[in-house]
Structure formats: structure tokens, C-alpha cells
Amino acid sequence: MSQHIALAIIGGTGVYSLATLDDVETRHLDTPYGVPSGPVRVGTVLGRRVAFLARHGEDHALPPHRINYRANLAALKSLGATRVLALNTVGGITERFGPRALACPDQLIDYTWGRISTLCEEGGQVLHVDFGEPYAPMLRHKILAAARVTGVKVVDGGCYGVTQGPRLETRAEIARLRRDGCDLVGMTGMPEAGLARELGLDYACLAIVANWAAGCGGGEEITMAEVLANVQAASAGMAELVGELARG
């Protein structure tokens, strides 16, 4: 596998592997920030070299606040990746973002706390990166174009509110997020997006809506069985979309 990595993918809850990855190499990496969440699987999708990393670990052992986001991104960059597609499993708040929808958000609000959120933690050079557009516009454009080519329905835009987790939110918290302008809620969008910008990586999110957020749907209790079933259904066209994106 001498060709460069066309695309790196970080999988979220319910996405622990890339079934269409062929000729797989397993890379156990270390970085200046420690070890990533697990091995990086490097292989080919439709002839393009792709790297995949499960954000929570392949056994979902890492809660959102314990993920070493810096190591994950640094590991992918060390393999030569320049573009990162983040798959984030989220809850839907506003009407366009119901369960089983796929969305490519263009904004986020960070409600997390206590996470290492910069490469500057140890001192040295301070990076004041421009973060007005938290997702790389050109990569977002390519994701949406790949969706059109493959016939995968993706909602264009939306604001992702990132909460601390691992518990789900109260109805009052979701009402606050709605007032703040959030359309989606999840637990892993930050500091990942900010760190990707500091590392100079083109980074964008494809959000998989697994459930209505508290108080937004019919009021039923959210179960992991429901979440995983919805993730699987929403991901039906993911392989084709990823393959088309890797080609672009």
C-alpha cells in the first residue's frame, strides 16, 4: 500500500469498523500525546487508501471525556492523512434532524468542560487558529457532492451542540440548546474539531441521528437498542458515500 491516504475516518457510537475496507493493515501507533483510542485500520475502498479509527475504541470502552482526541488526530496525521471525516452519533433537536437522518453540520457550540482542548497544553507556541467556520468548507462541499452522486440523503447544515456526557441530557438542557440555536446534540464533536484545525487537517462531520433528544420526539425513553438500530439504518449508504468521497 504505497499510495497516500485519501481519507481518514473516525467512527462514533455504533460505527466500530468499516465493513468495506479491503486489504486491511492494522497499525498500532504512539504519538507525542499518547496512544490513540485503538488500532488504526488502513485499507482500500474502491481502490483508494482509507484509514479508520474507532473513537471510543472498538469495544466502546472510552467515554467521551476520556477519549484522547489529540492522540487520535495525531496518529491519523502521522500516517499522511490530510482529510478527516468524523462520524458522530447524535440526537436530533429540530424538525429536519429526526432519527435515521444524516447531517453535515456547518456550526457547533461547545458545552464541554475539563477536556484537553489544545495542542498548546504543555506550553511553547500558542496557536490562535481561526475557528469561525469549524468544519472545512471544501470538505463539506465534497461530502454533499458525494451524497448527491451516490443518492444518499444528507441534510446540509445545522448546528451541533457538544455536551459533556456520558449521560444523556435533561429536557431543560435540550430546551436551552434549542434556544441557543442547536439542531443536533452529541458528546464528541469537541475538542476534536478544534484540534483538527490546530493540526492543519481538513475536518468535517457527518452526523448520524440516532434518536430524538429529550423532549423533542414522542417522549419515549431512549434505549441503546434503539440507538444502534437507527445508526445501522442511517448508515446503509455510508460505504458508497465514503468511496465516492475518497475518490474526490
Say if residues 111 and 170 touch (Cβ distance below 8 Å): no
How many beta carbons lie within 10 A of that of residue 231, not counting itself? 22
Judge whether 55 is annotated as a binding position: yes
Residue 213 annotated as binding site: yes
Q: What burial letters (b/e) apply to 155-173, b meaning 16+ CB within 10 Å?
A: beebbbbbbeeeebbeeeb
Beta strands 184-186 and 22-27: pairing type? unpaired
The annotation status of 13 as a binding-site residue, yes or no, is: yes
Instruction: Tell me phi and psi for residue 210, to 5 degrees.
Output: -95, -20
Alpha-carbon distance 130 to 197, whole Å? 8
212 annotated binding-site participant: yes
Amino acid code (one letter) for 206? L
188 assigned ligand-binding residue: yes
Q: How far apart are CA 27 and CA 38, in angstroms?
A: 9
Spell out the alpha helix ranges (H) of 25-78.
69-78
Q: List, as residue ranges, the binding site.
A: 13, 55-56, 187-188, 211-213
Q: List, as residue ranges, the binding site for substrate.
A: 187, 211-213
Q: List, as residue ranges, the binding site for phosphate.
A: 13, 55-56, 188
